[in-house]
Amino acid sequence: MDTSCFDYCLTEDEHLEFEKNGFFIVENVLPPEMVKDLTTVVDRLDAQYRSTGASPNQKPATIDPNRPPAELVGPYDRLNLMDFVGKDEIFLELLDWYKTFPKVWGLLGWNIQLYHSHMTVTPPGPPDEGAVKKRLGWHQDSARLNHELETTPQPRISLKVAFFLTDTTEEGRGNFYVLPGSQLRKTPDFPSDGVSDPEEALAVKVPSGSAVFFDRRLWHSASPNYSEIPRKVLFYGYSYRWLRPRDDMTVDHFMDRCDPIRRQLLGASTGGHGYTSPTDEDVPLKLWLAEHLGEEAVAA
């Protein structure tokens, strides 16, 4: 990893914002050339998973983004492709991207991994989209964790970094929606009409090249796209190494071209014991941080 990343460590303001609101935005993390190169690959994958004819089963615009990966989706459907990270070498670059990764270890520490990746393309919806008012698909991430962990608030355990490849600076472009501060609540107050969104619902508005960091406990949702611009976002989920991956993590074919830190992030371990009681070999990120920032940076 390049030491230029130390210029982009988590700031105190970002940390406070994350604790208070459950998310923060960093603009300009990807230069336009990188956005262009990523978009070329995203478009190729989208074409591979999207049928060109009329959609046989038109799905509702706000589907559960945590559903199993789609096979072939129709022209108006949102493609949510899980486990995309092993589908092209370019995606490895974002795993430890110098402008985002320092903020991930700043929030979670060094015993971390990629537990999940998903690529979303939200094309403009069908002409009648929005005719019937529907509530967005509000949820917290990781399904069963929200039922089987007893405490309120729950422990954080994971977060996602969402890399925006297209502009969502205006509403109605398939924006990512959040309920700021809701990561500390069990359930938001949903209006009793069954269709409206909570009052505090906020459309996250970001230009392409931005990253949105969000806590998995934050109540959030995808939204319909009424614009002409397909929305493209790459989601990288980071967690402690002892959490089971949420997708197949089909990445073994890349392991031998990765450095030790990337191998750690892709799930390498000396064995079962190494997830909860890591040796130095399990967590090269820890050694690297100790070497550059001193032992106190990796204490505990």
Ligand X SMILES: O=C(O)CCC(=O)C(=O)O
Per CB under 6 A, residues contacting ligand X are 65, 120, 141, 160, 176, 220, 222, 233, 235
Residue 247 binding Fe ion, by CB under 5 A? no
How far apart are the two ends of the chain, measured CA to CA in Å? 22
Q: What is the DSSP letter of 50?
A: B
Task: Quote the distance between the C-alpha of residue 152 and its chain's center.
Answer: 23
Shortest distance, CB of residue 242 to Fe ion, whole angstroms? 21
Site string for Fe ion, 36-65 (x = CB under 5 A): ------------------------------
| Binding at 235: pick from Fe ion, ligand X, none (beta carbon under 5-8 Å per type) | ligand X
Closer of 35 and 82 to ligand X (Cβ):
82
Question: C-alpha distances in angstroms, 62 versus 13, 136, 247, 265, 296?
Answer: 33, 6, 21, 31, 46
Question: What is the distance between the alpha carbons of residues 267 and 111, in angstroms, rounded to a whole number?
Answer: 11
Shortest distance, CB of residue 137 to Fe ion, whole angstroms? 9
Closer of 101 and 236 to ligand X (Cβ):
236
- Stretch in the footprint of Fe ion (CB under 5 A) among 68-76, 94-102, 140-148, 183-191: 140-148
Of 46, 77, 96, 141, the residue at the interface with Fe ion (CB under 5 A) is 141
Q: Is 24 helix (H, G, I), strand (E, B) or coil?
A: strand
Shortest distance, CB of residue 176 to ligand X, whole angstroms? 4
Shortest distance, CB of residue 298 to ligand X, whole angstroms? 29
- φ and ψ at residue 215, rounded to 5 degrees: -70, 140
204 C-beta neighbours (distance < 10 Å), count? 20
Shortest distance, CB of residue 222 to Fe ion, whole angstroms? 8
Q: Please identify the residue of the shown chain whose CB is closest to the bound ligand X.
A: 222
| Binding at 234: pick from Fe ion, ligand X, none (beta carbon under 5-8 Å per type) | none
Closer of 118 and 286 to Fe ion (Cβ):
118
Task: Quote the distance between the C-alpha of residue 179 and its chain's center.
Answer: 16
Closer of 214 and 288 to ligand X (Cβ):
214
Task: Quote the distance between the C-alpha of residue 219 and its chain's center.
Answer: 14
Do the beta carbons of residue 203 and residue 171 sit within 8 Å? yes
Question: What is the distance between the alpha carbons of residues 285 and 146, in angstroms, rounded to a whole number?
Answer: 29
Do the beta carbons of residue 220 and residue 138 sit within 8 Å? yes
- Stretch in the footprint of Fe ion (CB under 5 A) among 22-30, 52-60, 137-145, 265-273: 137-145
4 C-beta neighbours (distance < 10 Å), count? 10
Shortest distance, CB of residue 175 to ligand X, whole angstroms? 7
What stretches of 96-155 show up as alpha helix (H) in DSSP?
101-108, 145-148
Shortest distance, CB of residue 221 to Fe ion, whole angstroms? 8
Q: Could you list the residues that contact Fe ion (CB under 5 A)?
A: 141
